[in-house]
Amino acid sequence: MLHMTDMTEARPAPQTASGPSAEPTLRVRGLTTVFRIGRREMPAIENVDLEIAPGETLALVGESGSGKSITSLSVLRLLPGAISRIGGGEVSFRDREGRVRDLVSAGGEEMRRLRGNHIGTVFQEPMSCLNPVHRIGDQIAEPLILHLGLSRRAAFERVVELLAAMGIPDPARRARQYPHELSGGMSQRATIAMALACDPVLLIADEPTTALDVTTQAQILRLLQDLQKTHGMAMLFVTHNFGVVAEIAHRVAVMYAGHVVEQGRVADVFRHPRHPYTRGLMTCVPQPGDALALRRAGQALPTIQGSVPSITDRPPGCPFAPRCALAVDACRAAVPAMEDTGDGHLSRCIRWSEM
Amino acid sequence: MLRYTLKRLAAGAAMLIALSMLVFILLRLAPGDPVDAYIDPMVKMSAADMARLRAELGLDKPLPVQYLIWLRDVLHGDFGRSLQRTGEPVLALIGSRIGPTLLLMLSGFGIAIIFGLIAGVVSAVKRGSVRDGTLLAVAAVGVSSPAFLTALIGLYLFSVVLHWAPSGGMLTPAMPFSLHDLLSHLILPALILAFYQSALVTRYMRSSMLEVLTQDYIRTARAKGVRENRIVSHHAVRNALLPVVTLIGSTLGLAVGGAIFIESVFNWPGMGLLLVNAVELRDYPVIMGSTLVIGAWVIVMNIATDLVYAVIDPRVKVS
Ligand SMILES: Nc1ncnc2c1ncn2[C@@H]1O[C@H](COP(=O)(O)OP(=O)(O)OP(=O)(O)O)[C@@H](O)[C@H]1O
Ligand SMILES: [Mg+2]
């Protein structure tokens, strides 16, 4: 197996029918989501910009609480409605028919028709994401019947095909089983089958391998990669593991305290991090000569001095300033703007050129 | 499944034997002499006559032997005769009373379960709304009102003041049977029995639903584009029912106590009234027989609960 740097170089750019200038499947601009805490509304994510082309994988990384899940739930419009709302920004999504819609202003029924059909989602805990009282096959068949209008019989046949494509042996028997009869890896394959049932153009995967053991994790990642190649979908892959980023993503966005602080091609960001936070995270990423990057999969991110500020006490300026060795007064004055450091590699650090 | 049921039934039979022993001993420890029930207080009886009567009734034998004789007879289908003048067979008495009790309990619980489950689901889905608040307030009153209070208030209000329902009995005496007559007698005690139960079921179902609605598989269903109605009916309710079924089962068994009370308030000719009267008259064979039947009811309800649970939860493998 190659070591990590080689892997990032070896991965070809996404191949799409319409070429690299193709319209992105997902374009997020200035997305801000606020939570009501007491009587005040606090931004959980602020001014998030992301873009994913068809066939491309964007990894969203960051420590726990940095806002990765809130970003994906905002895109899906599955935020806990009573306590949070999208405070601003745009989410343009190009559906399977090539129609571009703004998901922030989309109605509930419009979103419902997109979810599970044009947008597939895989969550972290496969076991708890499957309904314990329904058969696996019925759960995978649900979007097929709901969105594509398949008959139960046709849906079941499709489910068996899907499970087989997920590398599940004896798929017809598995389809009739209940979630508790499946292992974690098997369950995650089933939820991936569920997400891909209607052949979505965008797959949002929120830490889909975190709950699994290292071997299963590697298998699931490979499966997702293969599926992406055959389906050509765009993928937003949330993780807090740089080894996984190296394995699966074309581009990476690093989040810290609700902000995207750095974004670029995986190879560029890994080789020349342009934000002190990313550089801090990098220090424990497997070095050339290390065993397979995934051996590190189970490990937590390296500790940088201090901790992530909670949503209620984020500093006024750069959120990383209190933990940053390079911080100067200007950093604490205002949140730095996103700057292009060259070739689409973006950084939210005013001192990026000194790194 | 069958083997499991049989095993449970065997365990239940053992429990019934233990229960009957307990009741037997308690009855004999209670002050008073069983033979008193047989004698006319007006007629002076000699000590010799008393002893002869005792021997005739088997009361001169040691307690364990008396119990074994009773048990042997019961196993042969002989529950003895009532000590009352009429001397009816206990089994016949119970047979005539069991129908009214089942009618009252099942209508009470039917109302309670249907209403409680619907109210619990609505309350959870519309959490924080006026409807939720109203249901919660009513449920709070329901679970905190003792049965005797609701029974007496209900009786006073609906039958004494408003004359909406008869004040007791199951049928108007000396009138040909009519369904309307039966229902008009049934409605008030059944509703009162249902009041507490439905409040309990509402609360349980609500909190169970609230819990289920936060589960990951509900979010997954939303991510699949499932409609809210279907999320509630197809993905949430069945999961939310799991803990509630256990509750319903155990109260269905235990609420026999409430039913006995309501029967005596409303003079409903059921097992409860039979038992209460038998206790007043120290009619031992009747007490023993009806306790046995009520105990069997509780045990069967518990087994039924487990079986229903196994049917709705695929994770439970009964073995
Ligand atoms: N239900 C909630 N109520 C209040 N604040 C919340 C809620 N959910 C998330 N937040 C806040 O939003 C911020 C981002 O949370 P999010 O779940 O997106 O983090 P994450 O990056 O996905 O972390 P993890 O790696 O632990 O999944 C957190 O700081 C958290 O405090
Ligand atoms: Mg998360």
* Domain ranges, ordered by start, for chain A: 26-249, 276-354
Residues B116 and B212 placed together within one structural domain of the fold: yes
State whether B220 and A130 contact (CB < 8 Å): yes
Q: Please state the three-class secondary structure of chain B as a single string.
A: CHHHHHHHHHHHHHHHHHHHHHHHHHHHHCCCCHHHHHCCCCCCCCHHHHHHHHHHHCCCCCHHHHHHHHHHHHHCCCCCECCCCCCCEHHHHHHHHHHHHHHHHHHHHHHHHHHHHHHHHHHHHCCCCHHHHHHHHHHHHHHHCCHHHHHHHHHHHHHHHCCCCCCCCCCCCCCCCCHHHHHHHHHHHHHHHHHHHHHHHHHHHHHHHHHHHCCHHHHHHHHCCCCHHHHHHHHHHHHHHHHHHHHHHHHHHHCHHHHHHHHHHCCCCCHHHHHHHHHHHCCHHHHHHHHHHHHHHHHHHHHHHHHHHHHHCCCCCCC
Residue A113 contacts B where some CB pair is shorter than 8 Å: yes
State whether B225 and A132 contact (CB < 8 Å): no
The boundaries of the domain holding residue B212 are 92-312
More confident residue, B288 or B257: B288
Residue A121 contacts B where some CB pair is shorter than 8 Å: yes
Q: pLDDT for B91-144, tens place per residue? A: 999 999 999 998 998 899 899 999 999 999 999 999 989 999 999 999 988 888
Residues B63 and B113 placed together within one structural domain of the fold: no
Of all residues in chain B, the one with the smallest CA distance to A135 is B314
How far away is chain A from the Cα of B228, in angstroms, using its nearest Cα?
10
Tell me the best of A45, A63, A64, A310 to mutate to test the pocket of ligand 1, counting ligand atoms within 8 Å of each CB and taking the most: A64
Q: Is residue B171 part of a domain?
A: yes
Residue A178 contacts B where some CB pair is shorter than 8 Å: yes
How many domains is chain B partitioned into structurally?
2
pLDDT of residue A2: 37
Q: How many contacts (CB atoms, under 8 Å) link A and B?
A: 69
Residue A130 contacts B where some CB pair is shorter than 8 Å: yes
Domain boundary among B25, B56, B78: B78
Q: pLDDT for A44-91, tens place per residue? A: 999 999 999 999 999 999 988 899 999 999 999 999 888 999 999 999
Residues B107 and B250 placed together within one structural domain of the fold: yes
Is it the case that residue A309 has pLDDT exceeding 50? yes
Residues B50 and B126 placed together within one structural domain of the fold: no
Is it the case that residue B319 has pLDDT exceeding 70? no
Domain boundary among B50, B78, B106: B78
- In the structure, which protein residues have their CB atom closer than 6 angstroms to any atom of ligand 1? A 35, 44, 62, 64-70, 80, 83, 240, 310-311
pLDDT of residue A284: 54
State whether A131 and B225 contact (CB < 8 Å): no
Protein residue closest via CA to atom 31 of ligand 1: A311
Facing A133 at nearest CB: one of B219, B221, B314: B314
Domain boundary among B25, B46, B78: B78
User: Taking CB atoms and an 8 Å cutoff, what residues of chain B touch A207?
Assistant: none
Nearest ligand, measured from the Cα of A79: 1
CATH of residue B187's domain is 1.10.3720.10
Residues B153 and B249 placed together within one structural domain of the fold: yes
Is it the case that residue B318 has pLDDT exceeding 50? yes
Q: Is residue B152 part of a domain?
A: yes
Closest CA to A262 of A29, A30, A62: A62
Residues B150 and B116 placed together within one structural domain of the fold: yes
Out of A146-155, A199-208, B32-41, least confident range? B32-41
State whether B224 and A178 contact (CB < 8 Å): no
Q: Ligand 1 centre and the CA of B230: distance in Å?
A: 28
Q: Is residue B158 part of a domain?
A: yes
Is it the case that residue A236 has pLDDT exceeding 70? yes
Q: Is residue B47 part of a domain?
A: yes
CA distance A101 to A108: 13
Confidence of residue A290 (pLDDT cuts 50, 70, 90): very low
Confidence of residue A230 (pLDDT cuts 50, 70, 90): confident
Residues B155 and B50 placed together within one structural domain of the fold: no
State whether A129 and B315 contact (CB < 8 Å): no
Q: Ligand 1 centre and the CA of A67: distance in Å?
A: 6
Of all residues in chain B, the one with the smallest CA distance to A112 is B225
How far away is chain B from the Cα of A31, in angstroms, using its nearest Cα?
20
Confidence of residue A256 (pLDDT cuts 50, 70, 90): very high
Protein residue closest via CA to atom 19 of ligand 1: A65
Contact A120, A198 (CB under 8 A): yes
Closest CA to A243 of A188, A302, A187, A192: A302
Q: Is residue B302 part of a domain?
A: yes
Write the single-letter amino acid at B135: L
Of all residues in chain A, the one with the smallest CA distance to B215 is A128
More confident residue, A149 or B44: A149
Q: Ligand 2 centre and the CA of A72: distance in Å?
A: 9
Which residue out of A131, A138, A206, A238 would a mutagenesis test of the B interface target, given it has the greatest number of B Cβ atoms within 10 Å?
A131
Q: Is residue B18 part of a domain?
A: no
More confident residue, A71 or A209: A71
Q: Is residue B56 part of a domain?
A: yes
Of all residues in chain B, the one with the smallest CA distance to A128 is B216
Residues B177 and B45 placed together within one structural domain of the fold: no
How far away is chain B from the Cα of A291, in angstroms, using its nearest Cα?
35
Is it the case that residue B19 has pLDDT exceeding 50? yes
Residue B226 contacts A where some CB pair is shorter than 8 Å: yes
Q: pLDDT for B229-246, tens place per residue? A: 999 999 999 999 998 988
User: Taking CB atoms and an 8 Å cutoff, what residues of chain B touch A147?
Assistant: 225
pTM across the whole model: 0.82
Residues B242 and B187 placed together within one structural domain of the fold: yes
State whether B224 and A142 contact (CB < 8 Å): yes
Q: A26-249 has which fold?
A: Rossmann fold (3.40.50)
Q: Is residue B19 part of a domain?
A: no
Is beta strand A251-256 parallel, antiparallel or unpaired with respect to A57-61? parallel
Average pLDDT over residues A41-46: 93
Residues B171 and B73 placed together within one structural domain of the fold: no
Tell me the best of A34, A63, A66, A259 to mutate to test the pocket of ligand 1, counting ligand atoms within 8 Å of each CB and taking the most: A66
Contact A266, A249 (CB under 8 A): yes
Residues B40 and B168 placed together within one structural domain of the fold: no
Q: Ligand 1 centre and the CA of A64: distance in Å?
A: 8
Tokens representing A256 are 């810290």
How far away is chain B from the Cα of A140, in angstroms, using its nearest Cα?
9
Protein residue closest via CA to atom 2 of ligand 1: A35
Confidence of residue A124 (pLDDT cuts 50, 70, 90): confident
Of all residues in chain B, the one with the smallest CA distance to A203 is B223
CA distance B124 to B133: 10
First-to-last alpha carbon distance for chain B, in angstroms, is 7
How far away is chain B from the Cα of A188, in angstroms, using its nearest Cα?
12
Write the single-letter amino acid at B89: P
Nearest ligand, measured from the Cα of A80: 1
Average pLDDT over residues B297-312: 83
Residues B66 and B110 placed together within one structural domain of the fold: no
Q: pLDDT for B200-220, tens place per residue? A: 999 999 999 999 999 999 999
- In the three-class reduction of DSSP (H, G, I as helix; E, B as strand; rest coil), residue A30 is classed as strand
CA distance B319 to B314: 13
